Amino acid sequence: MTALLLSAVTCLVTLCGGLLALRLQAYRGLVLAFCAGALVAGALMDVIPDALELLESVQTPWHHHHLLFSCSLGFLLFYLFEHGAHHHSDTHDHPAQYNHTCQAGAWGAAGIGVHSFFDGVAIGGAFQVGGEIAWVVTFAVLLHKIADGASTVGIMLGTQHGTRATFLMLLVTALAPLAGTLTQSLFVIPKPLLALVLGWFAGVFLYLGASSLLPAAHEAGHSRWLPLATMSGALFVYLVQRLAE
């Protein structure tokens, strides 16, 4: 019951982070730049280390190079997907490119939802183990949920989605930890599989942060503060990780 209550709190924190990003649409360029920095830093400092920790916690034939290969596939497959869509739009019309951009953004936002789902799994598993580790894991999850909510909104807005679709995806991401905790209490998901999936989405996050959010931020505004906003997003994730240690 405690794990479910704390997962519900993470849902609220994620929702607040996303709503704050929506509220600041007047500063869309800066918000997108901040989210780009947070997304890239989160992939490198949060998702990949979590996936490595999962792999190392069990006996498995999969090792860190398999995880990093999965990450590379996530990055490169999205690149190939985009390249194919660009070629298609060059030979047809612009709506095809628009549809591709929306689809890529939806997949990227869904990836954050999957990561949030695994956060809920982590909370449920930690409370099954019990002791101090349960509260340490919960605190670590809570600290980065604001960035998850803001990144979800940033990806959706940066890939030409409307406010309604953005809010719906934010709601999915916010509820994902609760679903993860409930699922963890019913089923045992193999940790190596979770690790490889997380690695794949880390590659997706890196690609979307660099190729979608940053260009969208510069298109939305030409403020000289955009690089600083990007660095602030990365610094925010770094500080959250330090506090969680």
pTM over cut 0.85 = no
Kindly state the helix (H) or strand (E) to which residue 173 belongs, with its residue range: helix 163-186
Of residues 118, 142, 140, 169, the one with CA closest to residue 5: 142
pLDDT score recorded for residue 92: 44
pLDDT in tens, 138-159: 766 776 677 778 778 878 877 7
For the chain, give the secondary structure using H, E and C.
CHHHHHHHHHHHHHHHHHHHHHHCHHHHHHHHHHHHHHHHHHHHHHHHHHHHHHHHCCCCCCCHHHHHHHHHHHHHHHHHHHHHHHHHHHHCCHHHHHHHHHHHHHHHHHHHHHHHHHHHHHHHHHHHHCCHHHHHHHHHHHHHHHHHHHHHHHHHHHCCCCHHHHHHHHHHHHHHHHHHHHHHHHCCCCHHHHHHHHHHHHHHHHHHHHHHHHHHHHHHCCCCCHHHHHHHHHHHHHHHHHHHC
Q: Is pLDDT at 232 greater than 90 in this prediction?
A: yes
pLDDT in tens, 16-58: 888 887 887 767 788 778 878 888 888 888 778 878 888 888 8
pLDDT in tens, 74-125: 888 877 766 654 444 444 444 444 455 666 677 777 777 877 887 787 777 6
